[in-house]
Amino acid sequence: MVFDIIKKRRSVFPVQYNDRPIAVADIEKILQAANWAPNHKNTEPWRFKVMTGESKEKLGLFLSYMYMEHVPNPKQIKAKKLIDNPKKAGAIIAICMQRDPQERIPEWEEVAATAMAVQNMWLCCTEMGIGCYWSSPPLVKYMDEFFEMQEGEVCLGFFYMGHFDEKLPEANRTPIEDKVTWMDR
């Protein structure tokens, strides 16, 4: 049942991933799930760049270099983590959004549609037993120097994925009643 998968969804980080590769067919299925996200005026703004193998290492080196170049007082441990985390992932998907050239809808709606596509990917990964999380480092603003991007396309972050062995903790949420106001009840 979809509600059970929603409740089971967790962030699983690269440090938790094992060395088992993610099959291309599984990545394709995850991307197909993304493609069914709702979107206003059928702009389908989501764009994805899939990195496996050597491209993950190149991403890590690029992120580390940009961090050292553009962040005041960079920390060596952070630079190393930027190099190491991509290597630990089974795959990384750059999450990009392509702005509607006609700007028929507000930009936030296209960002929201892209986020819904990522939620579909996350739920698909949960069902498939693949760990994942969405990382949005400030360094994404430099990704047009790493990827070929179309005019109006921006990178919103990275979707790290990997198989994992450990049992994930139960999640806690405050009651929904604390977040809802009924107008006619």
Which residues define the annotated binding site for FMN? Answer: 9-11, 40, 134-136
What is the Cα–Cα distance from 158 to 91, expressed in whole angstroms?
Answer: 10
Residues in the chain: 185
H helix or E strand, kind and range, residue 167: none
Q: DSSP string covering 28-88, please? A: HHHHHHHTT---GGG---EEEEEE-THHHHHHHHHHHHHHHHHSSS--HHHHHHHHHHHHH
Residue from 158, 137, 168 nearest 17 by CA: 168
What is the Cα–Cα distance from 116 to 35, expressed in whole angstroms?
Answer: 10
- 110 with 38: CB under 8 angstroms? no
What is the Cα–Cα distance from 20 to 43, expressed in whole angstroms?
Answer: 36
Residue 25 DSSP SS3: helix
Residue ranges of the annotated binding site are: 9-11, 40, 134-136
